[in-house]
Structure 1
Amino acid sequence: MFESELEVYKIFISHIGENEDEYSIFIEKLQTAHEFEFKNLGILDRIAEKDLQKQINSVGVVIILSGLYNKYKSIIKKQVDIAKELDKPIIVIRPFGMENVPFELEKIATDIVGWNAPCIVHSIEENYITE
């Protein structure tokens, strides 16, 4: 497939308002995926509820990095609540190097995947909703 023929998936990746190691590693992982183009509409320095609402409203899927959940619960929970309110599919990524996902995230997840790029891409493609 030619690069110009690839669909660009608009996604929101959970964040804490600043760059964080797990977030950076995840972005790099997605960037290495073959024949997959994405645009992350999550803006790192914008975490006010109205900003998050606007960011999440424009995407076809929300990705929650569950490794950030316990440490930054209120910020990530706000993102999850907005995604649920907007009926966006929620893909939960297991904590980096671990299998267990917080129960609160497990019960709202559309899908749960690990850090394997092809599995992540497949989940995005399968769960993506178009406007």
Structure 2
Amino acid sequence: MSKTHNLFISHSWQYSDAYAKLCGLLDNRAYFDYKNFSVPKDDPIHTNGTDKQLLEAITNKMRLSHVILIMAGKYSTYSKWINKEIVVANEGFINPKPIIGIKPWGSTVVSSVVKNNAVEMVNWNTESIVDAIRRHSNA
């Protein structure tokens, strides 16, 4: 029986296609079980909540996660929320949450903020991503 890996998948809703594709890669990987603890797009806290409420929701979701996945496109460097998520992952818990940075498909440019905070950077490849999750998850 395989472990279920609790994941917080950081993302920008401006680039939600990459988030959906990543979830698709993980969903279709045989012998890999995970639970997605990301704050869903349709959660009313995105549109009706305050920044403080959203940060609290993110922190609560991360608390349940073994690993944080962050897509490391250049936009991540300038994303207010991705930067806050990195701070929460590193400083919000007794034991920091490992961050795995995922390089964008076909891109050589990655976010320096993600790269500098990741325990590992991986290519946009199902096996690379799953192997890194297994290595860094304390599931």
TM-score above 0.5, yes or no: yes
For residues 16-75 of structure 1, give each alpha carbon's deviation from its aligned partner in whole angstroms, at most 9, with x where no partner exists.
3588111001110111112101001012235611000100011110000112515x6101
What TM-score comes out, normalization by structure 1 length? 0.86
- Select which of 24, 31, 53 maps to 1:28: 24
Partner of 1:125: 134
1:34 alignment partner, SS class: coil
Cα distance between partner residues in 2 of 1:27 and 1:18: 16
Partner of 2:51: none
In structure 1, stretches of 5+ residues that fail to align are none
In structure 2, stretches of 5+ residues that fail to align are 47-53
CA RMSD in angstroms, aligned pairs only: 1.8
What TM-score comes out, normalization by structure 2 length? 0.82
Cα distance between partner residues in 1 of 2:14 and 2:108: 25
Q: For this pair of structures, how many residues does the alignment match?
A: 125
Given that 1:61 and 1:128 are in contact with CA atoms closer than 8 Å, whether structure 2 keeps it comes out as: yes
- Does residue 59 in structure 1 map to residue 65 in structure 2? yes
Moved over 4 A (4+): none
For residues 2-23 of structure 1, give each alpha carbon's deviation from its aligned partner in whole angstroms, at most 9, with x where no partner exists.
xxx1211001000235881110
For residues 70-124 of structure 1, give each alpha carbon's deviation from its aligned partner in whole angstroms, at most 9, with x where no partner exists.
5x61011111111111300000000232133211111111000011101111000
2:86 alignment partner, SS class: helix
Residue type of the alignment partner of 1:94? K
Query: Sequence identity, in percent?
Result: 27
Partner of 1:75: 81
